[in-house]
Amino acid sequence: MRRLMYLLALICVWSDCAVADDSNKAPGNPPDMIVISPIFGKLVMFTLPGDFTTVFEQPTADSYIREAVLKGETTEKWSQMITVTGAKTAATHPDLSAQYFAAQIAAGFQKACPKTFAVKPLGRTEISSEDAFVAVASCGKIDASGGNDSETALIVAIKSAGILYTVQWAERTPANAENLTIDESKWKDRLAKLAPIRLCPIKSGEKPPYPSCVSK
C-alpha cells in the first residue's frame, strides 16, 4: 500500500518549478522550496520542506498525482510523504464539496484499519477564495500492510470549479494496536510548514517561476 491517499534559486523538476526560500532555515540545512505546478487550469502552490524530494509524478486526462519523500527514501519505503493531487469531478460529481472529498479520503483510512481508525477535522476554510477543508486521519495499524505500520495524514482538500485538489502530508511509524492519539498541534505545525498553499490562474504567456502567483 503506497498511500492511504525571496527568489534565491530557480529549479524546474518534473512539470514543477520551485523557488528556494531559506529565510527560516538554520545554516547548513537545505532550503524549503516554494513549488508551483500547473494542474488542470490552475497553478497549485505550496511549500515543500527542504529535506523532501519529488520521486513520482503521474498525470492522466482526469487525474494528477505527485509524491515527494524524505531524501534517501522511495515511494515503496518511506516514513514521510507529501502528495499533491488533482481530480476532475464536474461531469460526474458537480456538487462534491471539499469537506466531502476530505471525508472520502478519511474513509479510505477507516477501511484499511476499522479497529484503529481515528480522525480529527480541523475545519472548513478558504484557500485563494475557494472552498477548502482540513482534516487529519490516522490508522494505528494498517491491516492491508500486514500490520507492521501505522499511518497518519494531514489532508488539505480544495474545490475549484470542477476540480478537486489535495495537498497531503503523511507519516508512517511502527504499528500500534490501539487508536493513535492525533496530536493536533503537531499537524497544525506541519500545515503551517506547507504554507502558503495557493491556487492561482494560469496567465497567458507567463512562464516559470510564475511571478504573479509567487508575489501575491
pLDDT-derived band at 95 (thresholds 50, 70, 90) equals: confident
pLDDT-derived band at 23 (thresholds 50, 70, 90) equals: low
pLDDT at 67 over 70: yes
Q: Which of 84, 112, 100, 104 is nearest to 170 (CA)?
A: 84
Q: Which of 24-33, 90-99, 107-116, 172-181 has the lowest mean pLDDT?
A: 24-33
| Spatial contact of 176 and 147, defined as CB atoms under 8 Å apart | no
pLDDT of residue 13: 41
How many CA atoms lie less than 13 Å away from 57 in the CB half-sphere? 10
Which cell is 30 given? 537545505
CATH, domain range 49-192? 3.40.1000
pLDDT average, residue stretch 115-144:
94
CA–CA dist 205, 160 (Å, integer): 22
Which cell is 145 given? 500492510
Which of 81-85, 94-98, 109-113: highest mean pLDDT?
Answer: 81-85
Instruction: Please work out, in degrees rounded to the nearest 5, the angle formed at the alpha carbon of residue 146 by the alpha carbons of 115 and 135.
Output: 50
pLDDT average, residue stretch 145-165:
88
| Spatial contact of 152 and 137, defined as CB atoms under 8 Å apart | yes
pLDDT-derived band at 1 (thresholds 50, 70, 90) equals: very low
Tens of pLDDT along 24-62? 555 667 899 999 999 999 999 999 999 999 999 999 999
pLDDT average, residue stretch 66-90:
94
pLDDT at 104 over 90: yes
Look up the pTM and report it. 0.87
pLDDT at 2 over 70: no
Helix (H) or strand (E) holding 51: none
Q: How many CB atoms lie within 10 A of CB 9?
A: 12
Q: Which of 18, 32, 33, 66 is nearest to 165 (CA)?
A: 66
Q: Which of 153, 148, 158 is nearest to 197 (CA)?
A: 158
Contacts of 108 (CB under 8 A, 6+ apart): 4, 5
pLDDT of residue 132: 98
Q: What are phi and psi of 181, to 5 degrees?
A: -80, 120
pLDDT at 91 over 90: no
pLDDT average, residue stretch 154-165:
95
CA–CA dist 81, 187 (Å, integer): 14
pLDDT of residue 3: 46
Residue 202's Cβ-count burial label (10 Å; 0-12, 13-18, 19+) is middle
Domain ranges of the chain: 49-192
Residue 111 vs residues 9, 106, 117, 138, 177: alpha-carbon distances, Å: 43, 9, 9, 11, 16
